[in-house]
Structure 1
Amino acid sequence: MKLGLRLPQRLGVDLHHDVVEAARTAEAAGYASLWTYEQLLFPESPVEPYAPPNVPWPESGRQTADPLAVLTAAAAVTEEVRLGTAVLIAALHTPVQLAKALATIDQISGGRVIAGMGAGWSTDVLRATGATRADRGRFLDETLDVFDAVWGPDPVTFRSPRVVIDNAFVLPKPASKIPVMLAGGASNLGRKSSSSALHRIARRADGWLPLLTTPGPAGAADLRASWNRIRELAAEYGRDTSGMELVVVGNVTFTDGPAGADRSAFVGSLDQIVEDIHTAEEAGADELIIDLNLQDWFTDTRRMLEVAVEIRERVA
């Protein structure tokens, strides 16, 4: 199993220096991929909690730098690592512009982009761009349709409720096929599973981006069962599942000492975090994204990178 690292985007990051330093350091340390995430705004009184029943939004989210701008900076200073979004919320973007931005970054990077997409969940975030929770699935499907159209041969003709392209050239094209991975479909952050999300992943995606929330053998078994179900559905849709990837997200929260038996995955001591990495591997993950952006006690990115390098060395 390979390891990826989410780049620093949080409050307190020196964007002028830290993104480039993190990208270079992670590639040199042996990380296989670099990832960004999307959080458009931070509501003072959110409609929904960060996670049920009443988990507050993390303070680090008061600043989340633009994911595509950060990914572009990383593309310019690295040579081999894959560059992914985990995830972009489809309803926050105009589909054609998003397709063009991803294709441009893919050209800059020499064909290393992964488009991780999600439907979103926050009412506050969705309505800031004129969307609603009811729009989420429809807008995601439309965005995926636009990707298929404009990343294909020119001239492009495409029609949907929001997008009309009539016999036009849409350039640049990606340097190579951009894998599209989807989040959702499982009890991420305590939210209910969605059958429609599972079917969308199976029908449309090149891979799945779930969170690992339960540690130990039970967590591995649950994740493995969901992944097996997705691939079974994909086969029923007539798809070749051999190239589909399982890329697990680990949102790390360190505690002062070892966390108790009732802990969530990736919450606890460094030893427990390493155990959770192995749990993801046991579940059949092809790759695991280490996210250290939640650590309020990281006073600077250099400290975050020291921990990231230590994790990579421990796992290796």
Structure 2
Amino acid sequence: MKLGLRLPQRLGVDLQHDVVEAARTAEAAGYASVWTYERLLFPQMPAEPYAPPNVPWPESSRQAADPLAVLTAAAVVTEKVRLGTAVLVAALHTPVQLAKALATVDQISGGRVIAGMGTGWSTDELQATGATRADRGRLLDETLDVFDAVWAPDPVNFRGSRVVIRDADVLPKPVSKIPVMLGGGGRNLGRSTSSKALQRIAQHADGWLPVLTTPGPAGAADLRASWDCIRDMASAYGRDASRMELVVVGNVTFTTRPAGHDRSAFVGTLDQILDDARTAADAGADELIVDLNLQDWFTSTRQMLETAVEIREQLVVP
């Protein structure tokens, strides 16, 4: 199992220096990829909590620098690591402009971009861009269709519910077809992820980006069952499921003492975090994204990167 590292985007980050330092450090330490996330805004009185049942939005995460700008900075100071988004919220973007932006970063990086996409969940963010929660699945589907059209040879022709392109050149193109991965999932993955979401992944995606929340064998079994379901559906649609990737997101929160048996995955001491990484490997993950952005006690990006390097050195998984 390979490891990826989320780049620093949060409040207190020196965007001029910390992003490039993190990207260089990740590549030198042996991380296979670097990733960004998307948060458009942070409402004072959000319509939904950050996480159920009533978890407040983290103070340190009240800034999220633009994910594609951060990836571009990482692209120009690295040579090998893949550059991924986990995830971009389709409804917050105009599909053609997003396709063009992703293709541009792909060209700058020499073909290393992974487009991780999702429907989003924040009513406040969706309303800020003129969308609604009811729109989000439809808008993601249309965005995926636009990607296929715009990244194909010119001239491009496309007609959708809000996008019309007639005999147009849309450049630049990606170096090659950008892998598109879809997010989704949570606790009890196989039961909480809707059949529509699973079908979308099976029909359209090059991989899945679930967040692992349940530690231990139960978490591995649950994740594996959902992944098997997705691949079985993909095969039924005539796709080569063996080419799809499972990239698990680990949202790390360190504690000074071992967390109890009722803890969520990637919450606890370093040893517990490493155990959770092995759980992801046991579930068949091809890659694990280590996200240290939620750590309120990190005093600097340098401290965060020292921890990231330690995780990379200690984690030996098949």
TM over 0.5: yes
Tell me which amino acid in the other structure corresponds to 1:181.
M
| 1:224-239 mapped onto 2 (5 Å cutoff) | 224-239=224-239
Tell me which amino acid in the other structure corresponds to 2:172.
P
Distance 1:175 1:35 in 2: 19
Q: Describe the superposition over 1:81-133 as per-residue Cα deviations: whole angstroms up to 9, x where unpaired.
A: 00000000000000000000000000000000000000001101110100000
Tell me which amino acid in the other structure corresponds to 1:210.
P
Whether 1:136 and 2:136 are equivalent positions in the alignment is: yes
Distance 1:197 1:188 in 2: 15
Say if 2:23 and 2:34, in contact at 8 Å, map to a contact too.
yes
Return the offset for 1:185.
4.5
2:34 aligns with 34
Change in Cα spacing, 1:219 to 1:111, as seen in structure 2 (3 Å) is same
Say if 2:187 and 2:212, in contact at 8 Å, map to a contact too.
no
1:277 aligns with 277
Q: Describe the superposition over 1:217-272 as per-residue Cα deviations: whole angstroms up to 9, x where unpaired.
A: 00000000000000001111111111100000000000111101110000000000
Return the offset for 1:44.
0.9
Say if 1:188 and 1:210, in contact at 8 Å, map to a contact too.
no
Distance 2:60 2:137 in 1: 28
1:121 aligns with 121
Q: Give the aligned length.
A: 316
Distance 1:261 1:169 in 2: 56
2:146 aligns with 146
| 1:63-142 mapped onto 2 (5 Å cutoff) | 63-142=63-142
Q: Percent identity?
A: 81
1:240 aligns with 240
Distance 2:124 2:187 in 1: 21
2:9 aligns with 9
Unaligned runs of 5+ in 1: none
1:175 aligns with 175
Return the offset for 1:188.
8.1
Change in Cα spacing, 1:188 to 1:14, as seen in structure 2 (3 Å) is farther
Say if 2:186 and 2:213, in contact at 8 Å, map to a contact too.
no
Distance 1:185 1:56 in 2: 20
3-state SS of 2:230 partner: helix
Say if 1:186 and 1:194, in contact at 8 Å, map to a contact too.
no
1:221 aligns with 221
1:289 aligns with 289
Superposed CA RMSD in Å reads 1.3
3-state SS of 1:175 partner: coil
| 1:244-263 mapped onto 2 (5 Å cutoff) | 244-263=244-263
1:312 aligns with 312
Q: Describe the superposition over 1:132-169 as per-residue Cα deviations: whole angstroms up to 9, x where unpaired.
A: 00000000000000000000010001111211111000
Tell me which amino acid in the other structure corresponds to 2:175.
A
Distance 2:283 2:59 in 1: 31
3-state SS of 1:51 partner: coil
Distance 1:62 1:244 in 2: 33
Q: Describe the superposition over 1:264-293 as per-residue Cα deviations: whole angstroms up to 9, x where unpaired.
A: 000000000000000000000000000000
Distance 2:267 2:185 in 1: 22
Of 200-209 and 180-189, more deviation after overlay is shown by 180-189
Say if 1:185 and 1:198, in contact at 8 Å, map to a contact too.
no
Tell me which amino acid in the other structure corresponds to 1:84.
G
Say if 2:84 and 2:116, in contact at 8 Å, map to a contact too.
yes
Say if 2:247 and 2:289, in contact at 8 Å, map to a contact too.
yes
Distance 1:9 1:149 in 2: 31
Tell me which amino acid in the other structure corresponds to 1:159.
R
3-state SS of 2:83 partner: strand
What is the TM-score normalised by the length of structure 1? 0.98
Say if 1:202 and 1:233, in contact at 8 Å, map to a contact too.
yes
| 1:184-223 mapped onto 2 (5 Å cutoff) | 184-187=184-187, 192-223=192-223
Tell me which amino acid in the other structure corresponds to 2:51.
A
Return the offset for 1:60.
2.1
Tell me which amino acid in the other structure corresponds to 1:90.
A
